[in-house]
Structure 1
């Protein structure tokens, strides 16, 4: 394994110090709107890049490479489907979000339903921010730095990373987060392109060479598929099956029905209702910039398969049998990891240290740490916004704008401690970081998606139906998690996690509808202001007639869908 030279260390140090200073210099905190929403002045390129950067965090980057190493190329379905969901978001939900002037997604639920849904969803989102986004990003940072500095304890590394990310989030707020995300996204893309280039150079033969060697490797039987064969799970026989985005019913990661039902459900939660992501669009200067930014983020998602997923396949071809025991990386049971097959989460770091030359290695490691800091700072800011605006402001409405900012800063410090404490438990839950992320979202998202979808498109949905379905969905989710941990119900455990998500969604829809119909209709003002009507589409059509095609988001959305169809169609 390669290591960092002095030049690499200098590059990393200069970058990390520079990004903290830059973030603080871009702070806006004269009011709560400045601190939590960047003053609502973000233009579409900033919104789009910030969305992409916050989404393609270090945890996603490492997770994508890990699953690609295990031949789960259909992980790309989560990436391209974001385009469809972002277009849906831009057409239907975003106008209501911006017109209402809300700070948080739970606040919007209160506008449509009542305060009960707001408090519940806010609490769930805060917990998810800590357990999923923040902790996973810190985990990735600890993996990379532990390989570089094995003499430093993981706990110390995690604390240092969390403090570094909080250093500009606490004083600067959302504007500091987004301004640094733009730089980090550019560096992340450049680093991913460089890594892909050097991996292909090492392999030789370009794309066709990769496919030919992948066929030979699969035919040799030297790929470790774990217990897939014994469990009757799908095992790809050739490169065409590896790169097929549509898998058979027995695929353990994403069967074809999961692509049609589960992926849209999880993607909707992540892009339309998740405070962590939507907060960037709430900071847009107007509806047009919000819509253009969302579409731009969707466009940036399309090349991910080439620069972030394919490297995982190249690692399978190049380093499948590489002895990495010298890294002394411990497995959950205490044994030392001997090759990537034992610990696929190391796929991306191994690629970095084996392939990149001095100087470039430092730059790309800085990019990986930048992605981690971007994700952590984003979740710190979004979670502190939820705590401040959904709880503290409601309990103490007399607080001034500056006092609310101070509350948000204190909340961020608390979140740093909580997230850092959870990191050691991640690898105990799952050996695949991406699987861990999707499992948590699959169990938490269905009740929330139900509340938002029925709230916008069904006038009869009321607050009682919303809170009952949210609570019942939460109880069912907890039961499924406990069943998986303690083997309470083997029948439930045998259901694919995307199937569990679908089951939760259908159950909460039925509960929401039945309870809403059995109780009083919602107040007329909530229906009039926060439900979609055909008249809105007709009115917007008239307004868009005077807009040039290249500024008309509908034309841009159609073009984006066509490009997406071409890219996805080449992998069917």
Structure 2
């Protein structure tokens, strides 16, 4: 493994992929008007919607994050994945019908219709910042981890810049249609590569029994903290550092709610569906695709614990910021868990297969970056530019979106190297998300299910929530009040959401009730469920999303119980 450069065949495979995906993305692009460019003409069928949702979520950052957490004994990181299936069922039942019937372009636009323009602007700005520092930057950083091993002599910022430009090459000219169609191909390649890596992992370790016995042997020798049955358990004690059961019950669903129900770069794919049924079927299909992630993306990290606990990786030349300043060389995966996935692929995969898998990782990176670029551009263009220039439209609006995309990719590339300052990529993703999601999730939940909620309550709750998040971050960074700031972030999330929801309800009582038209069109009531029941009666069972939802929940429950 001392020579980790790619063979000529691997390099050819990767080059063909990059050129081919850019060509295909440009060919599939739509830019005749704003609806084409930002929502793909609202013409996507359910398989495309579902696969694009999966691909946009499972980027290279997720691949790196899942395997590194599993290497550290935290297979419970899979709880974020199966919970997505539950959240998407909730989304399909309650929120999706309102989004599609309102014909909105963005989630902040929907918030404006329910409340007012102040909520729209604040949410839009928060989401744009989140898209840059969470989704785009982490995807670029993860792609850099893979390529840095092959090209250690090239500076990180150069690799990140090239990755950003490759993702933007087809997103800028083609818009959402380019992003969605390329995501379908990229998802297939990603899953194929992950399945191949899993097969080689189990061949090397001696199958499932070899993995579990290896984990138990490491525990018996004192090299790991947990035996196999605890490593592979999804439900952890209340004092677990990464996934306490209380956090699984209260925090994980709320983070998932924001990500799958409120996040523009995810919901935008469902907004492109040709009708409500295709949107619902696509959302449930995405939930189904999330379930095998345990076996093809998480478990390989546990295999790496058995195979490479003692592996010296200093020859890779990978460095991270040292606590005392400067850079320190990674000598083991325990020092640099983010290198787990790169070590697995370069150690186990033969020539040709390696090129395919690296291409799959780059595909995952391109998927998530492309998704986020287009959604952030949509936010800026439709939420901000159209308000400042209401007379702009057609081709000019598309051109503005393309310029915004270019600016965003430059900002994300500039921020990506800062992620090295966190102990792991997954910690970075979830920690930042914990500060952003609760105020927004509270606004949407209260807005849909509480008719009396109004603009004053919603805007005040958003300001309060983000004020608390900023203050908490400052206090934590400064090392003050450790008894409060050391509370697990998965428990901070529900506490902040309750505070924001309560503020919304209480402050709403001090202002007039919202207009009857707003209540009628943007709040849920039982009569909608009964009317929908009559509509679904005309469909065969395999087209009834309620039947499909029950099936998805049963499969999900089976996996969770098996790995309890």
Q: Distance in 1 between matches of 2:473 and 2:150?
A: 35
Q: 2:443 aligns to what? A: 451
1:111-122 matches, within 5 Å, as 111-122=113-124
Q: Which residue, 38, 49, 55 being the options, matches 2:57?
A: 55
1:292 aligns with 2:281: yes
1:569 aligns with 2:561: yes
1:340 counterpart SS class: coil
1:511 aligns with 2:503: yes
Deviates more, 1:303-312 or 1:477-486: 477-486
Q: Distance in 1 between matches of 2:471 and 2:229?
A: 39
Q: Distance in 2 between matches of 1:489 and 1:502?
A: 20
Q: 2:456 aligns to what? A: 464
Contact 1:483 1:489 (8 Å CA) reproduced: yes
Q: 2:161 aligns to what? A: 159
Q: Which residue, 52, 66, 81 being the options, matches 1:64?
A: 66
Q: 1:263 aligns to what? A: 252
Task: Provide, for residues 408-461 of structure 1, a one-character-per-residue CA deviation record: whole Å limited to 9, x for no partner.
Answer: 000011101110110111121x21101110011111100000100010000000
Alignment: residue pair count: 558
Q: 1:232 aligns to what? A: none
Task: Provide, for residues 240-297 of structure 1, a one-character-per-residue CA deviation record: whole Å limited to 9, x for no partner.
Answer: 1111111101100010100110001000000000001000000000000000000000
Task: Provide, for residues 289-328 of structure 1, a one-character-per-residue CA deviation record: whole Å limited to 9, x for no partner.
Answer: 0000000000001110000000000111101111110111
2:234 counterpart SS class: coil
1:331 counterpart SS class: strand
What is the CA-CA distance between 1:519 and the residue it aligns to? 1.5
Q: Distance in 2 between matches of 1:339 and 1:99?
A: 53
Q: 1:329 aligns to what? A: 318
Q: 2:372 aligns to what? A: 379
1:104-503 matches, within 5 Å, as 104-204=106-206, 206-223=207-224, 235-236=225-226, 238-333=227-322, 334-428=327-421, 430-503=422-495
1:540 counterpart SS class: helix
Q: Distance in 2 between matches of 1:492 and 1:415?
A: 35
Contact 1:483 1:492 (8 Å CA) reproduced: no
Task: Provide, for residues 515-561 of structure 1, a one-character-per-residue CA deviation record: whole Å limited to 9, x for no partner.
Answer: 01122111111111100011110011011111100010011111111
Q: 2:524 aligns to what? A: 532
Task: Provide, for residues 379-420 of structure 1, a one-character-per-residue CA deviation record: whole Å limited to 9, x for no partner.
Answer: 100000000000000111100221110010000111011101
Contact 1:32 1:402 (8 Å CA) reproduced: yes
1:341 counterpart SS class: coil
Deviates more, 1:94-103 or 1:330-339: 330-339
Q: 2:535 aligns to what? A: 543
Task: Provide, for residues 84-139 of structure 1, a one-character-per-residue CA deviation record: whole Å limited to 9, x for no partner.
Answer: 10000000000000000000000000010000100000000000000000000000
1:167 counterpart SS class: helix
Deviates more, 1:354-363 or 1:490-499: 490-499
Q: Distance in 2 between matches of 1:384 and 1:376?
A: 12
What is the CA-CA distance between 1:492 and the residue it aligns to? 2.1
1:74-113 matches, within 5 Å, as 74-113=76-115
What is the CA-CA distance between 1:484 and the residue it aligns to? 2.1
TM-score w.r.t. the length of structure 2 is 0.98
Q: Distance in 2 between matches of 1:60 and 1:449?
A: 22
Q: Distance in 1 between matches of 2:259 and 2:169?
A: 26
Q: Distance in 2 between matches of 1:130 and 1:106?
A: 17
Q: Distance in 2 between matches of 1:377 and 1:510?
A: 37
Contact 1:37 1:279 (8 Å CA) reproduced: yes
2:26 counterpart SS class: helix
Q: Distance in 2 between matches of 1:512 and 1:400?
A: 35
Deviates more, 1:314-323 or 1:383-392: 314-323
Q: Distance in 2 between matches of 1:76 and 1:466?
A: 33
Q: Distance in 2 between matches of 1:502 and 1:538?
A: 31
Q: Distance in 2 between matches of 1:484 and 1:366?
A: 39
List structure 1 runs of 4+ shifted beyond 6 angstroms: none
1:261 counterpart SS class: helix
2:321 counterpart SS class: coil
Q: Distance in 1 between matches of 2:39 and 2:272?
A: 5
Q: Distance in 2 between matches of 1:538 and 1:511?
A: 32
Contact 1:320 1:341 (8 Å CA) reproduced: yes
Q: 1:230 aligns to what? A: none
What is the CA-CA distance between 1:369 and the residue it aligns to? 0.6
TM-score w.r.t. the length of structure 1 is 0.97
Q: Distance in 2 between matches of 1:506 and 1:539?
A: 32
Q: 1:522 aligns to what? A: 514
Q: 2:33 aligns to what? A: 31
What is the CA-CA distance between 1:489 and the residue it aligns to? 2.4
Q: Distance in 1 between matches of 2:6 and 2:166?
A: 21
Unpaired runs of 5+ residues, structure 1, are 224-234
Q: Distance in 2 between matches of 1:475 and 1:160?
A: 37
2:328 counterpart SS class: coil
